[in-house]
């Protein structure tokens, strides 16, 4: 049995596949396992507390974990060692979430493409058909992550407190979220996953997209992401490679992404809301 994991900062989806390429159990969901921001004890506890994972742990022969925060050596090795503690009979492979987006989005294994992630966090890479290339090192959600869920959540909270929201939007936002200052600061500075906390506020945008204010926020964020991330691959874009997008923010922001793509002249490819589904197809083909 192989276990495929799409690990975000907010949540992880786990799918177990048997030797015939069939899903062995119902999809398992746990809290996010970003080893760059979640402490070692917390990572271990999240896995251990999943009764569904523990029930199949001894039957798993391979774990393919694609995760946020797994782009550098130290957090990757930390998470790998924790997974090996629980899946004792398995070979464990941990890769950054960009590889999940690549394998879920591309139309063939050797297709060259720029692949973007817009979920809780954001990222952008060039896949040449074999290897992944990044020209900007990620410094995490505080300094980067343009157009991500946490980016948009931060913009909304700031605008609310700086009185930049239209009155009707402000009332609706306050009705949906606890915007007490002490509550916000507690979640940002004393809880373990402030990125996911901020990203939780981004859903509000997509149920209020008829507002010009909301539409402008989304478009502004996408432009910033295009300028800072996508356009670093100008040579590849000029050669006509497509730009694929993965993640819920991208999926629900397709209209604004298409507008920005027209403005900057890059060719759009596929939009995948949940990379886990494409990952399953990829690994079944390569059993």
Q: What is the mean pLDDT of each run of 10 residues along the chain (287 residues)?
A: 89 92 92 91 96 96 92 92 97 90 88 94 92 86 94 98 97 97 97 91 93 96 97 96 95 96 96 86 80
* pLDDT value for 274: 84
Spatial separation of the C-alpha atoms in residues 215 and 218, rounded to whole Å: 5
Burial class from Cβ neighbours inside 10 Å (0-12, 13-18, 19+) for residue 19 reads exposed
Contacts 24+ apart (CB under 8 A), 163-166: 165/213, 166/211, 166/213
For residue 223, what pLDDT is reported? 98
What pLDDT does residue 48 have?
96
pLDDT in the model for residue 190: 94
pLDDT at position 134 is 87
Rounded distance between C-alpha atoms, residue 268 and residue 256, angstroms: 12
What integer pLDDT is reported at residue 171 of this predicted model? 97
pLDDT value for 107: 87
**Structural domains in the chain, sorted by start:** 2-101+276-285 (3.30.420.40)
pLDDT on residue 189: 95
Distance CA 171, CA 107 (A): 44
């Amino acid at each position: 049995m192989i276990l495929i994991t799409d690990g975000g900062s907010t949540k992880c989806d786990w799918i177990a596949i048997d030797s015939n390429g069939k899903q062995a159990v119902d999809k398992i969901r746990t809290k996010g396992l970003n080893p760059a921001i979640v402490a070692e004890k917390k990572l271990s506890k999240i896995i251990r507390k999943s009764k569904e994972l523990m029930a199949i742990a001894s039957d798993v022969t391979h774990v393919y974990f694609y995760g946020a925060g797994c782009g550098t050596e130290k957090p990757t090795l930390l998470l790998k060692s924790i997974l090996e503690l629980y899946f004792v009979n398995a070979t464990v492979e941990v890769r950054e979430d960009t590889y999940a987006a690549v394998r879920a989005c591309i139309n063939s294994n050797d297709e060259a493409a720029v692949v973007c992630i817009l979920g809780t966090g954001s990222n952008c890479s060039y896949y040449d058909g074999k290897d992944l290339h990044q020209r900007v090192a990620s410094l995490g959600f505080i300094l980067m992550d343009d157009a991500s869920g946490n980016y948009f959540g931060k913009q909304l909270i700031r605008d609310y407190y700086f009185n930049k929201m239209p009155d009707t939007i402000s009332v609706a936002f306050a009705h949906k979220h606890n915007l007490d200052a002490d509550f916000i600061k507690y979640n940002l500075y004393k809880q373990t996953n402030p990125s996911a906390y901020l990203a939780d506020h981004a859903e509000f945008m997509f149920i209020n997209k008829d507002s010009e204010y909301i539409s402008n926020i989304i478009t502004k964020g996408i432009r910033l992401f295009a300028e800072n991330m996508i356009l670093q691959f100008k040579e590849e874009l000029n050669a006509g490679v497509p730009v694929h997008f993965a993640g819920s923010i991208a999926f629900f922001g397709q209209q604004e992404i298409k507008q920005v793509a027209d403005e900057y002249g890059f060719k759009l490819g596929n939009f995948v809301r949940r990379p886990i589904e494409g990952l399953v197809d990829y690994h079944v083909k390569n059993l």
